[in-house]
Structure 1
Amino acid sequence: MTDIEINKKKDKAEVILEGEKLGDFNPQQIWDLAEELRDYTIANSESFSEIPIQNISVGNINFNVHPLNQPDFWNLVNKGDWEPETYAVFDRFIKADTVFLDIGAWIGSTSLYGAQLAKETHAFEPDPVAFSELKSNKEANAEYSWAKKLMIYPKAVSQFNGTAHLGSKNNGGDSMSSMLFADENKSWKVETIDLDSFLKAKNLEGQPLFIKMDIEGGEYELLPSLKVSLQKNKTFLFLSLHPEFLLQSIRAETNGKFRELKTRIAFFKKHNRLIKSLPYSKIQHADGRPINLQKQLIKALFLGKFPHTILGFS
């Protein structure tokens, strides 16, 4: 890291960079300078031979990232304002003997944290734009021993080994890519991997697993196919659901009379099928409150709503 020293001098601050005094600045000058330097760095990032590193601190966990593509997001994480309940769940369930499977790792905000808690971490991110950032952020932590326990894969966990199409309503890399958007103009053919095959290949069968799944709507097809695997392995499942994406997808494919009624019925059936695939005695919200699944199914049918996170364990 760059050696920057700031010393208080009455109503100004003395700024020293690498032993050289830059000058005395008042608060407004410091603020403006910081903003201008940040904006300049972001705007000219591709012309630099070196990529700046930001150290992120979440509770007692620290990790490095290359922040330029997502500066506002990483500042949010660093302030503790991004999904604190997610990190609280990790602290509660990921132990030193746990294998952490991060299915839908995006750019590493969960993988880089969980990798410091778990025995080993396997992170899957099929969006090529996001995976490039995930790889870069992992490499920013190469000096730490825990980074060697983090394995990353540019693949989608699926019902089969093969290929599938992943799409984005934008340009990718924004955490919103989904197989529900495979028909969008921006799409990619991605490699898929079956979870059972992966666990067997990595000799992970029978080991305690913590699975975080956040795949932007793809969970409705994937999770029911994992029922047997979830039953035979000791698993904790932290599931992010995207009911609004599913409702949008169903509505777009539904035509004719009673379109909205047929949409709600299909929406209900998808969630009912998903619920039946959960082999857990305890189903909770991220904050620990129990979820009444029958009540939520009624809301799915009549209101087109469903919880966005589900924590399952026995």
Structure 2
Amino acid sequence: MDQRKRHSLPVRIGDQTFQVTSDDDYLGNLNGTFEPATVELFHTLVRPNDVALDIGANIGCTALLLSQLAGKTICFEPSPSTYALLQSNVENAGAANVVLVNAGLGAKAADLSIAFNPANRSGGFVSDKPVAGHAIEAIKIVHGDEHLKAAFPSTKINFVKIDVEGYELNVLNGLADTLANDRPVVTLELNHWCLNAFQRMSVPDFFDALRAKFPVLYAVGKRGARDLHTPADSYFVMHEHIVKFDFPVIVGAFDESQLGAFLDRYVRNPPAYEEPVPAEVRIAELQAALSQTEQVLATERAARAREQAAAITLARDAAARQQQLQATIDAVHASHSWKVTAPLRAVRNLLN
């Protein structure tokens, strides 16, 4: 595995700033602030006394956000090297209400492997084959319900966040009892690339599986939230996600009463949205503006050239006229009459 040097950066996560450590490019890409859209979404879904699951915790930014919003957070991260960073960041933050588990959740217990680009740990995915340019680590998968019952008996789960790069249904299937008994609010990633490449599943099949689990199901994107139980909205989300990678988050629940603040923010009062200009149209606009600017410059240069030519002609004509006048004066001075009348001019000067 590629050994990369650890580095730390201050990151604003929710209402606090933490010194977060990693060994990839993820922190630099945050530009000092952790996912404002995620922060805003979680503020509408997580309540102060909730017990939350952070499944696919990566290096801990979401855990540190949940440490501020929920009463208790249980984090699951299967990669041993990523877990070490997660543990360091949570301990350094003093987040005493966060519990860490070095395992992934699935439909059954298994010893598998995870692949990730050393430059981006957050994109790690469960894989049974080597992947070029990726680090491979052995991981432990535990059955979700069985682990929670054994390690956290009598604990009701109120909120679940899942970010596992296409492995979402495996996680949900392993939490069938928890979902049925506790009826938590669930957020998970929609990533058609990971679903296709790693699970050989289409987005319509994924939506069908989620609709069977959640009576309330929304996809969240730049234009607010769309109801995935409504065929027209579901089709719209599929198109926008596959073509434009919009609507990257899904929210599932068992009753709309669980989503009061969420519905107010994302359904009843969706954010203002302006359709982005396609790249090819923007390029054409810029090229037209560039051509117009070049025409203006060419016209200006031509006008200046004409002005310079006119000035040169005027100067040349003035010089010729000056030479002509000087020649005439010299001719008068050299004439016989000028010389003959010199005494008269001298007398007149004396009299004056």
Q: 1:103: how far off?
A: 0.2
Structure 1 residues 248 and 191: alpha-carbon distance in aligned structure 2, compared to 1, 3 A threshold: closer
Structure 2 gaps, min length 5 = 256-352
- Give matches, 1:201-220, under 5 Å: 201-203=150-152, 205=154, 207-220=156-169
Structure 1 gaps, min length 5 = 1-44, 252-265
Percent identical: 23
Q: Tell me, yes or no, if structure 1 residue 164 matches structure 2 residue 112.
A: yes
Q: Tell me, yes or no, if structure 1 residue 310 matches structure 2 residue 250.
A: yes
- Identify which of 171, 174, 194 aligns with 2:121: 174
Q: 1:107: how far off?
A: 0.6
Q: Which residue of 1 aligns with 2:185?
A: 236
Q: Tell me, yes or no, if structure 1 residue 129 matches structure 2 residue 77.
A: no
Structure 1 residues 94 and 298: alpha-carbon distance in aligned structure 2, compared to 1, 3 A threshold: closer
- Identify which of 83, 87, 91 aligns with 2:35: 83
Normalised to the residue count of structure 2, the TM-score between the two structures is 0.59
Q: 1:172: how far off?
A: 7.8
Task: Tell me if structure 1 keeps the 8 A contact 2:195–2:203.
Answer: no
Q: What is the rounded CA distance, in whole Å, between the counterparts of 2:213 and 2:196 in structure 1? A: 21
Find the residue that maps to 1:96 and give its secondary structure: coil
Q: Which residue of 1 aligns with 2:291?
A: none
Structure 1 residues 140 and 243: alpha-carbon distance in aligned structure 2, compared to 1, 3 A threshold: same
Q: What is the rounded CA distance, in whole Å, between the counterparts of 1:163 and 1:304 in structure 2? A: 32
Task: Tell me if structure 2 keeps the 8 A contact 1:98–1:209.
Answer: yes
Q: 1:89: how far off?
A: 1.9
Q: Which residue of 2 aligns with 1:140?
A: 92
Find the residue that maps to 2:111 and give its secondary structure: strand
Q: 1:238: how far off?
A: 0.8
- Identify which of 74, 88, 112 aligns with 2:27: 74
Q: Which residue of 1 aligns with 2:343?
A: none
Q: 1:158: how far off?
A: 0.8
Q: 1:284: how far off?
A: 4.0
Q: Which residue of 1 aligns with 2:11?
A: 56
Find the residue that maps to 2:185 and give its secondary structure: strand
Structure 1 residues 220 and 234: alpha-carbon distance in aligned structure 2, compared to 1, 3 A threshold: closer
Q: What is the rounded CA distance, in whole Å, between the counterparts of 2:73 and 2:240 in structure 1? A: 38
Q: Tell me, yes or no, if structure 1 residue 189 matches structure 2 residue 143.
A: no
Runs of 4+ in 1 over 6 A off after TM superposition: 299-304
Task: Tell me if structure 2 keeps the 8 A contact 1:96–1:118.
Answer: yes
Task: Tell me if structure 1 keeps the 8 A contact 2:20–2:89.
Answer: yes
Task: Tell me if structure 1 keeps the 8 A contact 2:125–2:166.
Answer: yes
- Identify which of 264, 285, 298 aligns with 2:220: 285
Structure 1 residues 174 and 59: alpha-carbon distance in aligned structure 2, compared to 1, 3 A threshold: closer
Q: Tell me, yes or no, if structure 1 residue 223 matches structure 2 residue 172.
A: yes
Q: What is the rounded CA distance, in whole Å, between the counterparts of 1:221 and 1:157 in structure 2? A: 8
Q: Tell me, yes or no, if structure 1 residue 248 matches structure 2 residue 215.
A: no
Q: Tell me, yes or no, if structure 1 residue 65 matches structure 2 residue 65.
A: no
Q: What is the rounded CA distance, in whole Å, between the counterparts of 1:190 and 1:65 in structure 2? A: 24
Normalised to the residue count of structure 1, the TM-score between the two structures is 0.66
Q: Tell me, yes or no, if structure 1 residue 95 matches structure 2 residue 30.
A: no
Q: What is the rounded CA distance, in whole Å, between the counterparts of 1:299 and 1:248 in structure 2? A: 22
Task: Tell me if structure 2 keeps the 8 A contact 1:130–1:172.
Answer: no
Find the residue that maps to 1:310 and give its secondary structure: strand
Q: What is the rounded CA distance, in whole Å, between the counterparts of 1:297 and 1:61 in structure 2? A: 36
Q: Which residue of 2 aligns with 1:35?
A: none
Give the structure with the larger helix fraction. 2
Q: 1:276: how far off?
A: 3.3
Q: 1:100: how far off?
A: 1.3
Find the residue that maps to 1:184 and give its secondary structure: coil
Q: What is the rounded CA distance, in whole Å, between the counterparts of 1:83 and 1:76 in structure 2? A: 10
Q: 1:206: how far off?
A: 6.1
Structure 1 residues 172 and 151: alpha-carbon distance in aligned structure 2, compared to 1, 3 A threshold: farther
- Give matches, 1:104-115, under 5 Å: 104-115=56-67
1:8-43 C-alpha deviation (Å, 9 max, x unpaired): xxxxxxxxxxxxxxxxxxxxxxxxxxxxxxxxxxxx
Q: Which residue of 1 aligns with 2:149?
A: 200
Find the residue that maps to 1:66 and give its secondary structure: strand
Q: What is the rounded CA distance, in whole Å, between the counterparts of 2:99 and 2:232 in structure 1? A: 39
Q: 1:138: how far off?
A: 1.7
Q: 1:224: how far off?
A: 3.8
Q: What is the rounded CA distance, in whole Å, between the counterparts of 1:228 and 1:236 in structure 2? A: 14
Q: 1:273: how far off?
A: 4.3
Task: Tell me if structure 2 keeps the 8 A contact 1:129–1:173.
Answer: no
Q: 1:303: how far off?
A: 9.3
Task: Tell me if structure 2 keeps the 8 A contact 1:66–1:140.
Answer: no
